[in-house]
């Protein structure tokens, strides 16, 4: 192999990687502007597709709802409030919906005598306690854990864009789970509220 062939082979093997690096460097200011429009978020090994997971959770929750004899209640005022909040900030609507679910779960735990030892119990332990008391089933526990993960992603991912529709669907799911917990607690204890 002569020098000319050797240099040609080196240039040939470096050309594509160099071109890609050059294009990325040239577009780096524009790539940051495209991030808020993504529906998929990846950070390390964590990859979330908020909308897809929300749809799957809705199916799971509907199936779970059929297994419980929980009476329907009028949540239109709360959902209307969350819808108005989602107009301004979808993340705020998700947080408000989650707070409502947490309050219902903690109030139900209080009615059942589940102790929190002067400190708020982590929600994951509360889910386990409600399941062990027979208030929720393993399927419901799984739905609550997935909702908690979605809430965490929506809340803590700085470049994660959530639509008003997704926030409303999350709020409806959170409200359905709160109704389920309150209804089951009511049946078991004779009374606990939202």
- The CA distance from 100 to 39, in Å, is 26
- Residues 69 and 155 grouped into a single domain: yes
pTM for the complete prediction?
0.61
pLDDT at 24: 74
- Residues 149 and 58 grouped into a single domain: yes
- Residues 110 and 21 grouped into a single domain: no
Query: Band of the pLDDT at 45, cuts 50, 70, 90?
Result: very low
Residues near 147 by Cβ (< 8 Å), separated by ≥ 6? 57, 98, 101, 170, 173, 174, 177
Residues near 106 by Cβ (< 8 Å), separated by ≥ 6? 116, 120, 121, 126
Lowest mean pLDDT, pick from 72-81, 90-99, 120-129, 158-167: 72-81
- Residues 151 and 104 grouped into a single domain: yes
Question: Do 129 and 114 form a contact (C-beta atoms < 8 A)?
Answer: yes
Q: Is residue 194 assigned to a domain? A: no
From the number of C-beta atoms within 10 Å of its C-beta (0-12, 13-18, 19+), residue 179 rates as: buried
Provide the domain limits for residue 27: 1-37
Q: Is residue 150 assigned to a domain? A: yes
Q: Does the pLDDT value for residue 25 go beyond 80?
A: no
Question: Do 183 and 68 form a contact (C-beta atoms < 8 A)?
Answer: yes
Q: CA angle, corner 147, sides to 70 and 83, nearest 5?
A: 80
- Residues 20 and 86 grouped into a single domain: no
- Residues 173 and 154 grouped into a single domain: yes
Q: Is residue 97 assigned to a domain? A: yes
- Residues 28 and 56 grouped into a single domain: no
Q: Is residue 51 assigned to a domain? A: yes
Q: What is the CATH number of the domain that holds 137?
A: 1.20.120
- Residues 102 and 146 grouped into a single domain: yes
Query: Band of the pLDDT at 36, cuts 50, 70, 90?
Result: very low
Q: Are strands 40-43 and 46-49 parallel, antiparallel or unpaired?
A: antiparallel
- DSSP H or E segment with residue 143: helix 138-156
Distance in Å from the first CA to the final CA of the chain: 81
**pLDDT above 70 as % of the chain:** 74
- Residues 168 and 137 grouped into a single domain: yes
Q: Does the pLDDT value for residue 125 go beyond 80?
A: yes
Q: How many domains in the chain?
A: 2
- Residues 98 and 12 grouped into a single domain: no
- Residues 124 and 106 grouped into a single domain: yes
- Residues 101 and 147 grouped into a single domain: yes
- Name the region of 147 (left: φ>0; alpha: ψ -120 to 50; beta: rest): alpha
Residue from 96, 140, 145 nearest 123 by CA:
145
- The CA distance from 171 to 77, in Å, is 12
Q: Could you report the per-residue pLDDT of 66-78, keeping only the tens digit for each?
A: 555 555 555 667 6
Q: Is residue 73 assigned to a domain? A: yes
């Amino acid at each position: 192999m002569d020098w000319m062939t050797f240099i040609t082979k080196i240039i040939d093997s470096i050309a594509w990687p160099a071109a890609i690096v050059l294009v990325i460097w040239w577009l780096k200011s524009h790539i940051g502007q495209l991030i808020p429009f993504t529906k998929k978020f990846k950070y390390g090994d964590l990859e979330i597709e908020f909308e897809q997971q929300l749809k799957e959770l809705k199916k799971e929750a509907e199936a779970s709802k059929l297994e419980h004899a929980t009476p329907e209640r009028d949540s239109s005022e709360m959902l209307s409030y969350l819808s108005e909040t989602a107009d301004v900030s979808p993340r705020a609507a998700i947080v408000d919906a989650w707070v409502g679910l947490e309050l219902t779960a903690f109030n139900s735990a209080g009615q059942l005598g589940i102790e929190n030892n002067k400190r708020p119990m982590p929600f994951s332990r509360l889910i386990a306690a409600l399941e062990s008391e027979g208030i929720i089933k393993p399927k419901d526990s799984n739905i609550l854990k997935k909702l908690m993960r979605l809430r965490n992603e929506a809340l803590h991912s700085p470049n994660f864009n959530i639509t008003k529709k997704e926030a409303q669907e999350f709020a409806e799911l959170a409200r359905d789970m709160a109704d389920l917990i309150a209804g089951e607690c009511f049946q078991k204890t004779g009374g606990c509220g939202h």
